[in-house]
Structure 1
Amino acid sequence: MKFNPDGQLYKLTTVTTQFIFLNLLYILSCLPIITIGVATSALFEVLLRYADNERGNLIRDYFQAIKSNWKQATAAFVVLSVPIALLIYSSSFWVGGGTILTSIIGVVSAILAAYFFVVLALSLSLIGRYKNSLKQTLKNAFLLPVADPIRSLGVLLIPVVLFCLMVLFPGFRLFLPLFGFVLICYCSAFLLLSIFKRWN
């Protein structure tokens, strides 16, 4: 059997291996917690390029993206993760009240938490995709879900669907350390590119 470096099997194997390695790198990069923002921004950067047919070395480009994005991505993560955590806590607290009023407040808090989560995802992807000030990036990230609610909702639903699959099918949890995070960001990349191209 003759080895063909331009063959489809070789390309598929190479991409699959890079995706697995990139997913493991991302998990390791997130372990200090505070680095989740820059790791996610770097992952978005390389996968947005890949989804937009701008090939390159995923692993090398990931490290370069971490180096160039760390300051803005970390700041955006800190600024937005605090209200997300507070809103999630508020939602669980008010829903536990057991009355219609507290349940309504809890649902509103959950919706706001989801909105901030989408804003965080948009912020980190914008940091990876464009060079801009942090203030302008956050402003754009807050406005985009209002301007394009359907695709922004898709950015939220992709990780939610994966989480539901993990809960419903325990065997699916093995998928997360292999491909999970890369698959979430890669699928989201197509939605994000369509949002950015529409409003760019």
Structure 2
Amino acid sequence: MKKLSIEHPFFEFMGNLGDWIILNVLFVITSLPVITLGMTMTALYQVALRRVRGESRYVAREYFQACRSEWKQSTKLWLIFLITGGILLFDVLYGKNLWKMLNLAIGVLVALWSFTFTYAFPLQARFQNSTKNTLRNALFLAFRNLPATLAMTALNCIPAVCIAAGEFYTMAAMPIFCVAGFSLTAWVNSLFLSGIFQKLIHRKEDEDENTAR
């Protein structure tokens, strides 16, 4: 009977799956204080983007390195989203009986918040920039790549949708997201983001080349 090599596709798949599970568990545990969520999301996407590019080997080490290097600016970014998101959530919960046009405006702001949130932490993970420019670039990329933005935002909203749907759906989704849901969401999003960021890098290189001429 033929022996299976450690380079067999099955073992490679199981190894990759194990890495994504480790990444997810690290993300869940380090996100429990809530205030650390900006740092952990940036670290999650830094590792996920590196894995999609084939540049990641040691998930845990790279994750904690990203946490140490990105905590300051990522926390500042997270606080902006936390405060603005809290205000929007209050408006959504308690503004149902308001004037219809005002409700529409709140809906537009929620969509803009969600689109910007989808790109902000991956951008923080991939590029060095100020918080202001990161937010501005996030909104720009969101509308420039609207089909991908809608797909990624829908994936990001799954936990919130499960919570809103009730206790049964929340309890059903919880084991999935505690084991691999967040990291696999980051993986799928990173497949979109890698192509988007690569185009952005090429565009910047072309602009620099034209300026040099």
Query: TM-score normalised to the size of structure 1?
Result: 0.86
The within-5 A match list for 1:107-186 is 107-161=104-158, 164=161, 167=165, 171-186=172-187
The alpha-carbon distance between structure 1 residues 161 and 30, as it changes in their structure 2 partners (threshold 3 A), is: closer
The within-5 A match list for 1:1-200 is 2=3, 4-95=5-96, 97=97, 101=99, 103-161=100-158, 164=161, 167=165, 171-200=172-201
Q: Counterparts of 2:130 and 2:161 in 1: how far apart (Å)?
A: 36
Q: Counterparts of 1:29 and 1:54 in 2: how far apart (Å)?
A: 23
Structure 2 residues without counterparts, runs of 5 or longer: 202-213
Deviation at 1:115, TM superposition (A): 1.8
The amino acid across from 1:133 in the alignment is: S
The C-alpha deviation readout for 1:140-183, integer Å capped at 9, x for no partner, is 11222232222222221112346557858554432111111111
2:115–2:142: 8 Å Cα contact kept in structure 1? yes
The alpha-carbon distance between structure 1 residues 120 and 163, as it changes in their structure 2 partners (threshold 3 A), is: closer
Aligned CA RMSD, in angstroms, stands at: 2.2
1:29–1:35: 8 Å Cα contact kept in structure 2? yes
Structure 1 residues without counterparts, runs of 5 or longer: none
Query: TM-score normalised to the size of structure 2?
Result: 0.82
Q: Counterparts of 2:181 and 2:22 in 1: how far apart (Å)?
A: 12
Q: Counterparts of 2:150 and 2:196 in 1: how far apart (Å)?
A: 11
Deviation at 1:133, TM superposition (A): 2.4
1:76–1:134: 8 Å Cα contact kept in structure 2? yes
Following TM superposition, the consecutive aligned residue runs of length 4 or more in structure 1 with deviations greater than 3 angstroms are: 161-173
1:84–1:117: 8 Å Cα contact kept in structure 2? no
| Paired residue secondary structure (2:111) | helix
Specify the structure having the higher radius of gyration (Cα): 2
| Paired residue secondary structure (1:32) | coil
The amino acid across from 2:74 in the alignment is: A
The alpha-carbon distance between structure 1 residues 171 and 133, as it changes in their structure 2 partners (threshold 3 A), is: closer
The amino acid across from 2:139 in the alignment is: F
The alpha-carbon distance between structure 1 residues 52 and 165, as it changes in their structure 2 partners (threshold 3 A), is: farther
The amino acid across from 2:44 in the alignment is: L
Q: Counterparts of 2:174 and 2:31 in 1: how far apart (Å)?
A: 18
